[in-house]
Structure 1
Amino acid sequence: MRFLLGIDVGSYSSKGVLLDETGTIVATAQRRHEMRVPGPGRAEHDAEADWWAAFCELSRALLAESGVLPETIAAIGCSGIGPCMLPVDAAGRPLRPAVLYGVDTRARQEIDELNAELGAAAIFARCGNALTTQSVGPKIRWLARHEPDVFARTHKIVTCSTYLTHRLTGCWVIDHYTASCFTPCYDLYERRWNPEMTRPICPPEWLPELAWSSDVIGTVSAAAATETGLAVGTPVVAGTVDAASEALSVGVCRPGDLMIMYGTTVFFIEVVPAAQADPRTWAGPYLFPNTWSVMGGLATSGALTQWWRSKIFDLPDTDAVFADLASAAERSPPGANGLIVLPFFSGERTPVNDPTARGMVFGLTLAHTRADLYRATIEGIGHAVRHNLDTFAEACRAKAVYAVGGGVQNAMWMQAVSDIGGVSQRVRRHTTGAALGSAFLAGIGVGLMARDDVDRINPVVRTVVPQAFNKAVYDRDHAIYLDLYTQTKGYMRALWEGSTAQT
């Protein structure tokens, strides 16, 4: 029997899974870590402590729990939080903490600068994406301006999956899907790095080599084997961003398949028949040659529920606490007794792409309770999901929607999204998520699995359907939700400008 190892590094925890060659899960493991927030609009990870240490701990834990011999592992797949901006030196050592994906909004000035220098229209024409807080290019420019000593010592700019596969194999490789988030450095239509738009930001040779996610890019080195407990020479595939790996884990492979990932943020991936560029969303190749995707993401969701729990409610971080909050929120009626939340607590990504957006709780009275606040927050996230799904549908209406991630266990959250968005969500048996998708990628890479094996290995076990009796209240609230942002975004920007002037 041969086995497949998949490990994923997320925002607040890392997970691992070990599959046998039939697709049966033989072991799982999890390790918690922190997302550091060193200031407003900033989010970072320590690549050594949060990424590589997690990988090593999980690989050893999975081998110990399962009793599987390292030499029987046929291939390894990695996925990770992304896209990130991590500068490393010539020895591969991180030069600073990794700047995270769109939740980190520090490069707003650099977005404006690059749009002026390169031309916003020219960037969109070549990249298929506008510059947003999700884009890595402006964050590299931020590094050059604010930390010139670090910039001068930089050898490569990498993201999480690239760092992990380098530690395993010594190769610097990035998959096409992740590379498409390095706007303006990646040419969507040529599927290559664009040196003309990269040079004003950094030397083009700082960017890793390109590969497809299931390509075998190297094997485990002797040094990595010592740290991880894995066998020297084990094949390693390129891997990808956590969200794309999560999409694969629930079978999002065919045009019209769409994933809603419930996690620290909500992320969307829809497979489409051809490249489709829209400035409100993100476009990129998918995981395999001749496949395409449209993507979107909120800046906060699970992170927002964590914020209420820790900063406002002052409750401990336990599963029981979140279960109690969800139970209380279910006792608040749909519409949360007249409360609407704009969940823009760290700016917002798609479809508004506004780093200056701010959170709002609208309609408060002395009669409102903690349960109302928590329900309104869940519903606010649901309205943001609907805004994205409606935007996606303008180009390609989804045929099948699959839900995955930790939030799938929250029945109220799932139902609120279905009711507000008017969408049925299919849930598969395993919601292990990106680690499972990474193991699938490894299996595809060495020929042990095919893409459609997911339907056999991880079948749909339930479907969450919209409840029609909630439609009227949610349609009313959604119109208010959209108008609240439209009417107040100027004030939000003024508050942001005032706060940045003080710092």
Structure 2
Amino acid sequence: MTNVMALDLGTTGTRAVLFNDKGEMKGSAYKEWASFFPSPAEVEQDAAAWWSATREMIVEVLKKTKVDPRDIKAVAVTNQRETIVPVDKEGNPLANAIVWQDRRTTKECDFIRNKIGKEKVYKIAGLTIDPYFSASKILWFKNNRPEIYNKAAKFLLVHDFIVKKLTGKFITDHSNASRTMLFDITKRKWSDELLAGTGIDGAKLPDALPPGKVAGNVLPGAGTGLDPGTIVVAGAGDQQCAALGVGVTEKGRVKCTMGTGTFLLAYSADVKLDPTTRALCSCAAIENSYVVEASMFSTGSLLRWARDTLGHAECDEAAAINQSPYQVIDKKAETSPVGAKGLLFLPFIVGAGAPYWNPDARGTLFGLAAGHQRGDIYRSIMEGTSFDVKKNLDVFKEMGLDTRELRLTGGGSRSQIWSKILADA
């Protein structure tokens, strides 16, 4: 039987999943990795850890399923987007990767805004100017670590880094490239105008292929357990893949992924832009189609922060009854009434994404009083993020998008109370 393998490199870890030719999952394996926070505005990861964890999980899923590697037809990669790492010509990292959540590049964004202009960037790339996107991170290396910038053969996204390790080729795909702020989403090529305006050397970017095209073959000695010569397919960004996976392939359907952040994606056959640049437009996982997107940076990461800073009792209780701490947190949130007893939470701990695009915004817990309990704080987080989603859905409607059906995915969707709060909002 023919099988295919998917490698999903998210913000917090990597998952290898094996499917048969009927689309049935035969097995999976997952491993977390660490993020580093040199300052409150900075988020980094070790790209070598991506590759180490990915290799381990490929080996583990092969061991679990007892599938002969020769029966795996192809491997595809999906990934956390925008995160960028400089590499040498062999694909070895020259510094830690700057993660999509990182907000250090406000000066670089000001430079792009003054040199090129917000409207021109949006018209070409479908993106607003924000530290979220890769171009500002590459510029940061050029301005602050010129020795790294000059030495770098390429700047790679997570997808590209893994493809390089598997195949030896520098390849990205259109959906990932369209999140860099350097890609012309209409012409589907690197934009000469944006490269010239930013001063970024286009030779330091990988070749861009449509999603689903063959990127290369697994190299001998890759250390993955995969059969040398196995086809490696250019995948797509994780949010575009999630949209495809839940059927956002026609008008009227919107995908809402509640993971580390929340990402709303609606299908569009053509480039569709918002006159006030609140929503984004990027290349979809399906060739020659698009997604309109609203990106909110903090959702699951907020509850993880609450777990780690406030939820020690919930963690202890969860361990005693063999449950996830989040299940116990849900129960505590259920004890709080609608409105969380007057607590209002603004979910901007790493700046505000859509529709505000304010990198200087910060999280706020407003109305805290002596009578509040942890359950009220947990519920206020769920309510604050849910109203952020509603605000962005209202923007989609103002753009004329059909939003009759919202399809919920991601870790947050496993929470019944959070899903209900979102539906009520």
Q: TM-score per shorter chain, which class? A: over 0.9
Bigger share in helix: 1
Name the SS of the counterpart of 1:375 in structure 2: helix
Identify the residue that residue 238 of structure 2 maps to in structure 1. Answer: 242
Name the SS of the counterpart of 1:295 in structure 2: strand
Match among 300, 304, 314 for residue 302 of structure 1:
300
Give the letter aligned to residue 71 of structure 1.
Answer: R
Identify the residue that residue 430 of structure 1 maps to in structure 2. Answer: none
Name the SS of the counterpart of 2:117 in structure 1: helix
- Superposition RMSD in Å: 1.5
CA contact (8 A) 2:240 2:291 kept: no
Identify the residue that residue 493 of structure 1 maps to in structure 2. Answer: none
CA contact (8 A) 2:310 2:374 kept: no
CA contact (8 A) 2:298 2:349 kept: yes
Give the letter aligned to residue 337 of structure 2.
Answer: P
Name the SS of the counterpart of 1:228 in structure 2: coil
Mapped to 2, the partners of 1:267 and 1:119 lie a distance apart of 25
Match among 406, 414, 420 for residue 401 of structure 1:
406
Mapped to 2, the partners of 1:399 and 1:192 lie a distance apart of 33
What is the aligned length? 415
1:347–1:147 CA distance, 2 compared to 1 (3 A): same
Give the letter aligned to residue 344 of structure 2.
Answer: I
Identify the residue that residue 37 of structure 1 maps to in structure 2. Answer: 37
Give the letter aligned to residue 381 of structure 1.
Answer: T
Pairing 1:136-155 to 2, within 5 Å after superposition: 136-155=134-153
Match among 268, 277, 280 for residue 273 of structure 2:
277
Match among 360, 363, 368 for residue 364 of structure 1:
368
Mapped to 2, the partners of 1:340 and 1:137 lie a distance apart of 34
1:345 Cα deviation from its structure 2 partner:
0.8
Q: Deviations over 1:228-256 (max 9, x none)?
A: 00001111111122222222222222233
1:69 Cα deviation from its structure 2 partner:
0.2
Give the letter aligned to residue 193 of structure 1.
Answer: W
CA contact (8 A) 1:84 1:100 kept: yes
Q: Deviations over 1:265-310 (max 9, x none)?
A: 1112111132111211111121222211111211111111111111
Q: Larger relative contact order (C-alpha < 8 A, sep ≥ 6)?
A: 1
Match among 375, 386, 389 for residue 390 of structure 2:
386
1:221 Cα deviation from its structure 2 partner:
0.8
1:165–1:322 CA distance, 2 compared to 1 (3 A): same
Name the SS of the counterpart of 1:210 in structure 2: strand
Match among 139, 158, 161 for residue 159 of structure 2:
161
Q: Deviations over 1:429-476 (max 9, x none)?
A: xxxxxxxxxxxxxxxxxxxxxxxxxxxxxxxxxxxxxxxxxxxxxxxx
CA contact (8 A) 1:140 1:201 kept: no
1:312 Cα deviation from its structure 2 partner:
3.3
Mapped to 2, the partners of 1:142 and 1:249 lie a distance apart of 35
Give the letter aligned to residue 358 of structure 2.
Answer: D
1:52 Cα deviation from its structure 2 partner:
0.7
CA contact (8 A) 2:253 2:402 kept: no
Name the SS of the counterpart of 1:280 in structure 2: coil
Give the letter aligned to residue 242 of structure 1.
Answer: D
Identify the residue that residue 97 of structure 1 maps to in structure 2. Answer: 96
Mapped to 2, the partners of 1:284 and 1:65 lie a distance apart of 37
Name the SS of the counterpart of 1:388 in structure 2: helix
| TM-score relative to the length of structure 2 | 0.94
CA contact (8 A) 2:211 2:287 kept: no
Mapped to 2, the partners of 1:95 and 1:232 lie a distance apart of 27
Match among 262, 265, 274 for residue 261 of structure 2:
265
Mapped to 1, the partners of 2:58 and 2:21 lie a distance apart of 18
Percent sequence identity over matched residues?
30
Pairing 1:290-369 to 2, within 5 Å after superposition: 290-314=288-312, 316=315, 320-369=324-373
Mapped to 2, the partners of 1:94 and 1:256 lie a distance apart of 42
1:416 and 2:415 aligned: no
Mapped to 1, the partners of 2:124 and 2:78 lie a distance apart of 27
Identify the residue that residue 462 of structure 1 maps to in structure 2. Answer: none
Mapped to 2, the partners of 1:25 and 1:404 lie a distance apart of 18
1:213 and 2:211 aligned: yes
1:3 and 2:7 aligned: no
Between 1:33-42 and 1:341-350, the stretch displaced more is 33-42
Give the letter aligned to residue 145 of structure 2.
Answer: E
Mapped to 1, the partners of 2:93 and 2:146 lie a distance apart of 15
Name structure 2 gaps, 5 residues minimum: none
Identify the residue that residue 229 of structure 1 maps to in structure 2. Answer: 225
1:314 Cα deviation from its structure 2 partner:
4.0
Mapped to 2, the partners of 1:255 and 1:220 lie a distance apart of 38
Mapped to 2, the partners of 1:97 and 1:283 lie a distance apart of 28
| TM-score relative to the length of structure 1 | 0.80
Name structure 1 gaps, 5 residues minimum: 421-503
Mapped to 2, the partners of 1:41 and 1:281 lie a distance apart of 23
Mapped to 2, the partners of 1:126 and 1:247 lie a distance apart of 23
